Amino acid sequence: MIALNEHIKYLLRHHDCVVLPSFGAFIVRYEAATVKASGTQFLPPNRSLGFNAAIVDDDGLLAWSVCRREGIPYREASAEVAAAVDSMSSLLDICGQVDIDRVGRLIRHSDSTLEFLPDELHPIVNAAFNPLPVLNVSPIVEVADDEPAILEVDFSERRSLGSRLWRATRYAASVAVLVGLGIAFSTPITLERMPAQASLALPTVTKPKPATVETPAVTADMSEKSELSESSVEKEPAVVMVKDLDSANPEENYDCFVVIASFASQADADRYIREAKSADSMRVIKADGRYRVYIAVGTDYDATFDFKSTDAALVAEHPTAWVYRK
């Protein structure tokens, strides 16, 4: 069975609503940065989590997450999600509560009502804002009511361990630089290696002669060849659209494929391409008993995943695309 909790935590970091079909939905509430009513503290943005048992219609978000992670068809992923949600509901009936790490605790009371207690210590939904500090502010100049106040900001209070570690790292780096400079300045450059003798004369220090470095002459022919060799080498892009492919058989040269559809037969895949009228920009790869229609190929999984997630045109036309790796 799929690890449902991991999909829930991942989606809550990037979405404001995650629906557990036929069970309920986690709802994220965003709060903008504010100043306390007392005017003494400036609070950073915050995301808080709640649960609504009345929202049960499947929006497909969990199923698509399983599709991308497991590389399986949507119908199979949807069935996996339904089974995992049923298992969670059964566990609630038996134990009375279910804990989801960094999300919270679901409690089922004797009257069958659900209660949700969000994680207050390390909530996953607020991970992006946890490093931001709470700023202490206070006016340093008295002004009239119709004039803006000048505030003094105190950065001493930090809300997270990450911020304190970042400050400690900067201090450690500064100390390391100072120690290095001290060692450099305290190390003698030239030493008079003569035996020490009693004398009234001032000691003499021999200045080192500057070293001469012979630079080999570079002929015009060599420089021109170097420039030509550098300009003639073109880096092959990590991700290439199918319509721009030179190879007639990309399955032999590429390991990663940006898949936009998956079918049980070659005929269905071909029909999909014909109806899309994009025969020159789509191809089919057969693997694991499936016929997958892909629109781009790559040699590196991370680069291909970033491309399918950030290319504006691809995301707009195929928002559910995923990366298949041989």
Predicted local distance difference test score (pLDDT) of residue 196: 45
The Cα-based distances of 129 to 32, 40, 101, 109, 172 in angstroms read: 11, 20, 18, 33, 25
Predicted local distance difference test score (pLDDT) of residue 230: 47
For the chain, 326 residues long, the average pLDDT of each consecutive 10-residue run is 91 95 96 85 93 94 94 94 94 94 94 93 90 80 58 53 63 67 57 46 54 52 50 63 79 88 89 83 87 90 89 86 87
The Cα-based distances of 78 to 72, 136, 248, 303 in angstroms read: 10, 48, 36, 28
276 φ, ψ (degrees, to nearest 5): -80, -10
Alpha carbons within 13 angstroms on the beta-carbon side of residue 230 total 5
Q: What share of the chain is helix, strand, coil (3-state, %, to 5)?
A: 35, 25, 40
β-pair partners for 24: 20
Predicted local distance difference test score (pLDDT) of residue 245: 84
With beta carbons less than 8 A apart as the criterion, state whether 52 and 27 touch.
Answer: yes
β-pair partners for 108: 114
Predicted local distance difference test score (pLDDT) of residue 161: 57
Predicted local distance difference test score (pLDDT) of residue 186: 56
The Cα-based distances of 139 to 154, 260, 276, 323 in angstroms read: 11, 57, 64, 54
Give the torsion sign (CA, 240, 246, 249, 255).
negative
Predicted local distance difference test score (pLDDT) of residue 246: 74
Comparing CA positions, the residue from 102, 59, 88, 73 lying closest to residue 290 is 73
The Cα-based distances of 281 to 154, 164, 254, 263 in angstroms read: 57, 51, 16, 18
Rg from Cα positions in the chain: 32
d(CA 138, CA 256): 56
d(CA 56, CA 62): 13
pLDDT in tens, 194-230: 444 444 445 555 555 555 555 555 444 555 544 544 4
* pTM score: 0.47
